[in-house]
Amino acid sequence: MEIVIVQSQEQAGKLVADTVAALLKRKTDPVLGVATGSSPGAVYKELARRVEAGELSLRHAKAFMLDEYVGLSEEHPQRYRVVIDREFVEPTDIDPANVSGPEGTARDLVEACADYERQIHAAGGVDLQILGIGTDGHIAFNEPGSSLASRTRLKTLTRQTRQDNARFFGGDIEAVPKHCLTQGVGTLMEADHLVLLAFGQPKAEAVHHMVEGPVSAMWPATALQFHPHVTVLLDESAASRLQ
Ligand code: F6R
């Protein structure tokens, strides 16, 4: 696990965009894994800037989302597909038809999860997976207690995660869905390269467990210790509990 301390989220955004650019040199049609939430914001802004400047193109790329809420309408501004369209798809030149997420509005959620696994497999797997981490140690929405071998499935969000995400729902925890579909830990661990971003003091405990703690389903991000190629980008606050 490579740990990089950055001075700002903008610096992290540039480093991850450099990694995407290097991947595009090796492979014109890479498969990206995209996270939602605040942490990857500067990455998507920098990718958009480079596309706008003609420095790189995602025209032939595919992208797979990590997770999706269950219980929000198609057009809800916080539905993750709507967020990814707004923050990543529209500002870059990736083809929206090449961006997929778990179908949180499907009538048959079990089938939607199995179908999502098939889609990732058919694309040849994810080359570069961008990740955030929850204050409770979740990756994607694999909450504490998740099997470290899990595949895409329906999960219940913890109260902590719903509290953390209430900021996107006008501060109202009751407006945050209780359920989601999420890639499993086993699913996302199959990506070739994992890049995890964490900023701010509230992430320090989870980062400490992920990097230095014993591997445990109670801190799902500790599974990353088993992955051969992980880059962790932290600001000083998120790194403050590392030895
Ligand atoms: C989002 C996701 C989550 C977030 C995590 C951190 O698709 O999978 O694991 O990465 O909850 O969220 P932020 O970045 O908003 O602190």
Q: Could you read off the pLDDT of 43-64 as tens digits, one per residue? A: 999 999 999 999 999 999 999 9
Q: Match 């801190």 to its residue by tokens.
A: 219
Grade residue 23 by pLDDT with cuts at 50, 70 and 90: very high
Contact 137, 204 (CB under 8 A): no
pLDDT value of position 113: 98
pLDDT value of position 210: 98
What are the extents of the domains in the chain? 2-213+225-234
pTM, two decimal places: 0.98
Q: Is the CB of 135 under 6 A from ligand 1?
A: no
CA of 172 to the centre of ligand 1 (A): 18
pLDDT value of position 40: 98
Taking the CA of residue 41 as reference, the ligand 1 atom at the shortest distance is 14
Grade residue 106 by pLDDT with cuts at 50, 70 and 90: very high
**Average pLDDT, stretch 195-220?**
98
CA of 40 to the centre of ligand 1 (A): 9
**Average pLDDT, stretch 24-50?**
97
CA of 190 to the centre of ligand 1 (A): 19
Mean pLDDT of the chain: 98
Q: Residues 225-234: pLDDT tens digits? A: 999 999 999 9
Taking the CA of residue 197 as reference, the ligand 1 atom at the shortest distance is 14
Q: Residues 123-147: pLDDT tens digits? A: 999 999 999 999 999 999 999 999 9
**Average pLDDT, stretch 186-210?**
98
Q: Is the CB of 68 under 6 A from ligand 1?
A: no
Choosing from 84, 136, 141, 176 the residue with most ligand 1 atoms within 8 A of its CB, the one to mutate for a pocket test is 141
Grade residue 175 by pLDDT with cuts at 50, 70 and 90: very high
CATH of domain 2-213+225-234: 3.40.50.1360
Q: At what angle do helices 41-52 and 9-26 cross, to 10 degrees?
A: 60
pLDDT value of position 224: 98
State what percent of residues in the chain have pLDDT above 90. 100
pLDDT value of position 42: 98
C-alpha 132/C-alpha 30 separation (Å) is 20
pLDDT value of position 155: 98
Contact 238, 207 (CB under 8 A): yes
CA of 119 to the centre of ligand 1 (A): 22
CA of 110 to the centre of ligand 1 (A): 23
pLDDT value of position 150: 98
pLDDT value of position 142: 98
**CA-closest residue to ligand 1 atom 15:** 37
The catalytic residue positions are: 67, 136, 138, 143
Q: Is the CB of 158 under 6 A from ligand 1?
A: no
Beta strands 99-100 and 230-234 are unpaired
ipTM: 0.99
Taking the CA of residue 182 as reference, the ligand 1 atom at the shortest distance is 8
pLDDT value of position 136: 96
Choosing from 32, 138, 195 the residue with most ligand 1 atoms within 8 A of its CB, the one to mutate for a pocket test is 138
